[in-house]
Structure formats: C-alpha cells, structure tokens
A and B are shown apart, each in its own frame.
Chain A
Amino acid sequence: MSRLVVGAHYGVKDWLAQRITAVLMAIYTLVIFAAVLAGATGSHDAWRDFMAHGVVRFFTFLFIISLGYHAWVGVRDVWMDYIKPTSIRILLHVLTLLVLIGYAGWAIQIIWRL
C-alpha cells in the first residue's frame, strides 16, 4: 500500500454543494420577490398564510439549510486562506459551525413560532 502524498480527496463535494445551494437560494429569492410583487404578502395575516403553505414551508426550510451550508463552505474557505495556526483555525471552524447551526434553528423558530 502506498500512501498518496497529494490529493486530500475532498473539495469537489463542497465546491459542487456551494454551487447547487447558490442556485437554490437564487430561485427561492426570485419566487419570494415575485410573491411580494404579486401582493401575496400584503398584510401580517397574508404573510402567515403564505409561510404556512406546504410548498413554501418545504422550500423555506431548504433555503435556510442551503444558506447555512453555503456560508459554511465560504467562511471555512476564508479561514483556510488566511489562518495558518491549527489551534486558531480549529477554534474558528467550530465557532463558525456552531453559529451557523444556531442561526438555522433560530430562523426556523422566528418564521414559524407565531
């Protein structure tokens, strides 16, 4: 058995995921924009009914998860570019992950708790 000295064999998945989540978020943004323009969200009640719709729930959830994953890959890339000491790098990675997971949960609570 010979150990490959180069090629960590990851990177493609994250790169691809970042692109897929970007497309998903772009479409979602356009749809929400169109819904607002079409007057589907004129009042508080209209907003609530809109967000309670099954399809909207499904895609809003996907949007929040996509945003989190997209941000994770992007922010991690920034740490990988600039932060060299392993200890600080790990700390920042963990903090980023925790913050993003927290944000995702918080976003879901905000939108559907009322």
Chain B
Amino acid sequence: MTTPLAMRTYHFKIYRYDPDKDAKPYMQDISVECDPMDKKLLDAMVKLKAKDDSLSFRRSCREGVCGSDAMNINGKNGLACLTDLAAFPEGKPIVLRPLPGLPVVRDLIVDMTQFFKQYLSIKPYLVNDDPLPERERLQSPEDREELNGLYECIMCACCTTACPSFWWNPDKFVGPAGLLAAYRFIADTRDQATNERLDNLEDPYRLFRCHTIMNCVDVCPKGLNPTKAIGKIKEMLVQRAV
C-alpha cells in the first residue's frame, strides 16, 4: 500500500503584461497545487502554465545551464530552475517579476538586446594571431587555474540586471556579466589582445561605473564573483599606468 503524496498549494503573484492586450502591467494572483516530485520553482511554473497558458516565460534546460529562466523572485534575481520550492515560506505568495532594468517583451520575458550589446563590446572571443598549432593552444595547469570562476558564466543576466549602475547607464556601463567575461579573456594566457582589452575598458563609464555595490555577487546563481574580476581589471590598469 502506498501512502498518498503530501500535496502543497503554492500561491503566486505574477507580473503580467501583454502589450497587445494590456494598457499597463498588472499583478496576477494565481495558485497551483504541487506534489513532492515538484522540486524547483520552475516545476510549479510549468504547472501554472498548464493552468493558464497565456503566462509567458523563457525556459529550456531546466537545470541551471542555459540561463533562460532568470527572473526576479521575491525581489531577488535568480533562476527558477535552481530555486527550491520547499524553501518558500508557507502562507506568503511567491512574487515573480521580470528581470529589472530591461524592457519587458511580455510577462516575464525581457528584451536582452542591451545586455548582449555590452557583452559583444568586450570581444568575447580569443584573439591570437599566431598560426594555429596542429592540435590546440596549450596552457599550463596554473595558467588554466586563472580561468576558474570566470568561464562558468551562463549569461543569464541575473547580475547585470541587479546592478544599479547598469540600471542608470545600460548603454554605457558594460555591467558585471560583461566585465567578468572581459577579465576571462584578459586573464587568458593564450590571448594576445590584453592591452587593447584594457584600453577598451579604461573609461569612466565602461568600467568605473562599478561602485562595488556587489549585488552581482549576491545574486549569481552559479556562485561567481564579478566584483572580484572587476577589481583585478582595475589592478591591471593601475599596474599598467604606474
């Protein structure tokens, strides 16, 4: 004989906005019943979508690798697929909003054009003019170690959209995700464009709008530290200047 699974009802307050239908955004109250097999917030949201199929959000890998389902959960940016359902306190609705600081396309979907523009501006690829070796460009294990904590970024935009400096100057400030990626290539011993990369960032807006608020570190679902990477870029700029 099997015992019935304990069901739990989750209450949500979700930001809804469909520019084709709604004059302005509103918060929708909606509940969904979940069983213990529903582990993550995304599981509950998939059930919500079955209940009200007009709800729109991005999702893909459902395991914190693709970075699609980044959203503002109870006031803090995070990935729905990595957020434990059981951790939400009972009786309080879960408030879901789109990532702050970016234009809303619909419901929880934001337009990430500005975010990717800033990412592209740091040339997120290896620059090396030496002829290609027969197999691959090698690094020593110690040099490779430098890239740990930098290359794991999944570009979910949780950090950049949690950064007040990005909110005020999204067109000029590269943002934590972009700067982490910038340092990933600056720190890469195989890259030959370090000087140009530093030139590109030696700017009161592009780099120095970072006021070490550290919201980025607080929200990163992968546990990365963009502030530390930004600090290292500043250190290199100082070393180069004096």
**A interface with B by C-beta (< 8 Å):** 4, 6-16, 77, 80-82
A23 to B180, CA, bound (A): 28
Contact call A7/B203, Cβ cutoff below 8 A: yes
User: Which residues of the partner chain B approach A4 to less than 8 Å between Cβ atoms?
Assistant: 199-200
* Chain B stretch 204-242: residues in CB contact (< 8 A) with chain A: 204-209, 211, 234, 237-238, 241
A15 to B230, CA, bound (A): 13
Contact call B202/A7, Cβ cutoff below 8 A: yes
| Contact A6-B200, Cβ < 8 Å, known A81-B165, A81-B169 | yes
Shortest beta-carbon contacts, A-B, top 7? A11-B208, A11-B204, A12-B237, A8-B203, A7-B199, A81-B168, A7-B200
Contact call A12/B238, Cβ cutoff below 8 A: yes
Q: How many pairs of residues, A versus B, come closer than 8 Å at their CB atoms?
A: 49
Having A6-B203, A16-B238, A81-B168, one finds 4 other A-B pairs with CB under 8 Å, namely A7-B200, A11-B204, A12-B241, A80-B209
A8 to B200, CA, bound (A): 8
Q: Determine if B74 is an interface residue (Cβ-Cβ < 8 Å).
A: no
Q: Determine if B54 is an interface residue (Cβ-Cβ < 8 Å).
A: no
* Chain B stretch 136-158: residues in CB contact (< 8 A) with chain A: none
12 contacts between A and B (CB under 8 A): A4-B199, A6-B200, A7-B206, A8-B202, A12-B234, A12-B237, A14-B204, A14-B208, A15-B234, A80-B209, A81-B165, A82-B168
User: Which residues of the partner chain B approach A9 to less than 8 Å between Cβ atoms?
Assistant: 199, 202-203
Chain B, interface size category, equals 20 to 34
User: Which residues of the partner chain B approach A10 to less than 8 Å between Cβ atoms?
Assistant: 202-204
Contact call B204/A7, Cβ cutoff below 8 A: no
Q: Determine if B201 is an interface residue (Cβ-Cβ < 8 Å).
A: yes
Q: Determine if B128 is an interface residue (Cβ-Cβ < 8 Å).
A: no
User: Which residues of the partner chain B approach A7 to less than 8 Å between Cβ atoms?
Assistant: 199-203, 206
Cβ distance A18 to chain B, nearest Cβ, rounded Å: 10
User: Which residues of the partner chain A approach B202 to less than 8 Å between Cβ atoms?
Assistant: 7-12
Nearest A residue to B201, CB-CB? A7
Contact call A80/B238, Cβ cutoff below 8 A: no
- Write the B158-175 contact mask toward A (1 if CB under 8 angstroms, else 0): 000000010011000000
Contact call A77/B211, Cβ cutoff below 8 A: yes
User: Which residues of the partner chain A approach B208 to less than 8 Å between Cβ atoms?
Assistant: 11-12, 14-15
User: Which residues of the partner chain B approach A77 to less than 8 Å between Cβ atoms?
Assistant: 211
Cβ distance B170 to chain A, nearest Cβ, rounded Å: 12
Nearest A residue to B242, CB-CB? A16
